[in-house]
Amino acid sequence: MTSPESNSTDFIRAIVQDDLESNKYDGRVVTRFPPEPNGYLHIGHAKSICLNFGVASEYDGGVCHLRFDDTNPLREDVEYINSIQEDVRWLGFDWGSHLYYASDYFDALYNFAEQLILDGRAYVDSLSADEIREYRGTLTVRGRESPYRNRSAEENLDLFRRMRDGEFEDGAHVLRARIDMRSPNLNMRDPTIYRIRRATHHRTGDKWCIYPMYDYAHALSDSIENITHSLCTLEFEDHRPLYDWTLEALDVYRSQQIEFARLNLTNTVMSKRRLLQLVEGGYVSGWDDPRMPTISGLRRRGYTPEAIRTFCEHVGISKRDTVVNMALLEHCIREDLNQHAPRVMAVLNPLKVVIDNFPEDEVLEFDAVNNPEDPSMGSRKVPFSREVYIERDDFREEPPSRFFRLAPGREVRLRYACYITCQDVVKDPATGEIIELHCTYDPESVGGSTPDGRRVRGTLHWVSARHALQAEVRLYDYLLRDSDEEDEDSRDFISLLNPDSLQALTDCQVEPGLANAEPGNRYQFERQGYFCVDTRDSRPGAPVFNRTVSLRDSWARIEQSQSGGGS
């Protein structure tokens, strides 16, 4: 595993450090995380959260604001406001008293707009949306000035106030910044800063029927909050001139926008629009479906905040867009759970084994280690009786070479218990399906001793049939079959959905001790992977487990092959 990129070395932290040394902001470090409450947070947001809260926490008096960018009432909802706060807290960050809403600034933003109008730097345009688009031009075609561009300040002010007072239909007019229709940067060709939209806002109700556009509201919100470093993703690089223009035109406090590469991950989608499509189309069970790359989905899947933070640290901060392999995220949770998750035995596809020479009513109890990585986690007792379940895959009637598990006439070890030898295979006469195995055990081998030094090559996990608890286990695979390049417009990502991303096994048999498992508890099922008790569907006595991740670490293999040491 490569060492995590050190926190102190990325280019943003270098800028913050320089600014402190030159006393650019009087020694202040104030960042913000500014989600729009139009969806649940995803792992990409976690990168931004770790950066913004992380940078602030590294300096005495550093502060990170949580600000809801709630300027578009049509798509926003309190459900999202609540989930976002829960997710940021769960990730381990605290905004203290610094919870803000762009909508709190609607009065201020309105007054700033009047000031721009009075200064001749904004005008009411009465072209239709289509006409505005056409007049704007393209990268190769210069923009043209709207015939309304030279209205007098008085006329603009009058129209803008009447827009506010609800005199006009949606779309009849907009307020535009008066910048430069010939700018090579399309964002500077008189961008719209206010539009009419009759919609009830979740905080301001029906007070407003005009709403500010994102770029305008965002720059001014940063300024109002005295943000020092406004960290955002690279797609906003072309918006920075507008950000700077807005603050300069109004002669207000200047925050500094700095862009970094967004997080992209293989085999999943990472835009709220697409995630919403999955939820609304019923392709997943909700925003917190364990296959979703949302924070709530990852939490339900069994991810820990520590693993997500470690992942973000590994990914690091740069100016270059890359696609990170999902195997790295899995690697991080595996490392964490390997240390902390207790191990238990669970049989996912049970095959009954009858141990013919074991007394009918006898029960033995064996000591099982909870986590060999951490002796302080102790041990537990596991009951053993005449009938046990093993994994169907652990038996082959005709074993191929290098299959060291159970086969007719072959001896294996049952973990913590004893050696058994397969004597007979019982099949359903109609289907030929194997129904049960008959075995004998060697009493000399009980409790881990090796009679006459005899070695066996296979060790199987098992559960006593009489004591076993029935459980449902949900196995997950990637949401998308192929890596999605996030070509927002054209690709039909629905056709890339993996039809086998969820497999529910309803007849699993697990250790009786798991009857006490609490929702959210995490375990290693020996030889199977890491699992977590589902927080939604699990019931006392009828647990449902989500597989967080398998034991196979494909990241280690990827790293090995990249460093030339692959086998």
Instruction: Give the Cα separation of 86 and 74 in Å (integer).
Output: 23
294 makes contact with ligand ATP (CB under 6 A): no
271 makes contact with ligand ATP (CB under 6 A): yes
User: Looking at beta carbons, which residue is closest to ligand ATP?
Assistant: 44
Token pair of 472, please?
């449902």
Alpha helices in 211-286 (DSSP H): 214-224, 240-249, 272-280
In angstroms, what is the minimal distance from the CB of 47 to ligand ATP?
A: 4
In angstroms, what is the minimal distance from the CB of 170 to ligand ATP?
A: 23
Among 12, 13, 29, 44, binds ligand ATP (CB under 6 A): 44
Instruction: Give the Cα separation of 359 and 373 in Å (integer).
Output: 35
Which residue, 45 or 413, is less far from ligand ATP as judged by CB? 45
34 makes contact with ligand ATP (CB under 6 A): yes
Secondary structure in 3-state letters for 36-72: CCCCCCEHHHHHHHHHHHHHHHCCCCCEEEEEECCCC
Q: Which of 13, 178, 272, 334 is catalytic?
A: 272
Judged by CB under 6 A, the stretch of 45-53, 220-228, 296-304, 331-339 that binds ligand ATP is: 45-53
48 makes contact with ligand ATP (CB under 6 A): yes
Which residue, 75 or 144, is less far from ligand ATP as judged by CB? 75
- Residues composing the chain: 567
Among 13, 16, 29, 47, binds ligand ATP (CB under 6 A): 47
Residue 145 identity (one-letter amino acid): E
Q: Which of 435, 406, 447 is nearest to 423 (CA)?
A: 406
Q: Which of 237, 234, 269, 331 is nearest to 40 (CA)?
A: 269
In angstroms, what is the minimal distance from the CB of 340 to ligand ATP?
A: 27
Which residue, 42 or 343, is less far from ligand ATP as judged by CB? 42
Which residue, 259 or 391, is less far from ligand ATP as judged by CB? 259
Q: Which of 403, 382, 533 is nearest to 464 (CA)?
A: 382
Contact 28, 228 (CB under 8 A): yes
Q: Which of 380, 384, 391, 417 is nearest to 508 (CA)?
A: 391
Among 65, 176, 229, 262, binds ligand ATP (CB under 6 A): 262
Instruction: Give the Cα separation of 414 and 222 in Å (integer).
Output: 63
- C-alpha dihedral sign at 546, 549, 552, 558: positive
Which residue, 63 or 159, is less far from ligand ATP as judged by CB? 63
272 makes contact with ligand ATP (CB under 6 A): yes
277 makes contact with ligand ATP (CB under 6 A): no
Q: What is the CA radius of gyration of the chain?
A: 31
255 makes contact with ligand ATP (CB under 6 A): no
Which residue, 163 or 332, is less far from ligand ATP as judged by CB? 332
Instruction: Give the Cα separation of 253 and 534 in Å (integer).
Output: 48
Q: Which of 151, 164, 176, 262 is catalytic?
A: 262
Which residue, 234 or 364, is less far from ligand ATP as judged by CB? 234
67 makes contact with ligand ATP (CB under 6 A): no
483 makes contact with ligand ATP (CB under 6 A): no
64 makes contact with ligand ATP (CB under 6 A): no
232 makes contact with ligand ATP (CB under 6 A): yes
Give the SS3 label for residue 124: strand
Contact 40, 166 (CB under 8 A): no
Token pair of 297, please?
């989905």
Among 13, 16, 25, 36, binds ligand ATP (CB under 6 A): 36
In angstroms, what is the minimal distance from the CB of 215 to ligand ATP?
A: 12
Contact 78, 340 (CB under 8 A): no
Contact 190, 176 (CB under 8 A): yes
Alpha helices in 490-562 (DSSP H): 554-562
Judged by CB under 6 A, the stretch of 19-27, 162-170, 269-277, 380-388 that binds ligand ATP is: 269-277
Which residue, 319 or 392, is less far from ligand ATP as judged by CB? 319
Among 263, 345, 382, 532, binds ligand ATP (CB under 6 A): 263
Quick check: is 291 catalytic? no
Token pair of 342, please?
């207790």
484 makes contact with ligand ATP (CB under 6 A): no
What is the 8-class DSSP label of residue 343?
E
Instruction: Give the Cα separation of 299 and 288 in Å (integer).
Output: 8
35 makes contact with ligand ATP (CB under 6 A): yes
User: By CB under 6 A, how many residues form the interface with ligand ATP?
Assistant: 15
Q: Which of 36, 76, 511, 526 is catalytic?
A: 36
In angstroms, what is the minimal distance from the CB of 499 to ligand ATP?
A: 25
Instruction: Give the Cα separation of 35 and 564 in Å (integer).
Output: 41
Q: Which of 389, 366, 373, 362 is nearest to 338 (CA)?
A: 373
Quick check: is 330 catalytic? no
Quick check: is 36 catalytic? yes
In angstroms, what is the minimal distance from the CB of 172 to ligand ATP?
A: 28
Just list the catalytic residues: 36, 262, 272
Binding residues for ligand ATP, rule: CB under 6 A, are 34-36, 44-45, 47-48, 232-233, 262-263, 270-273
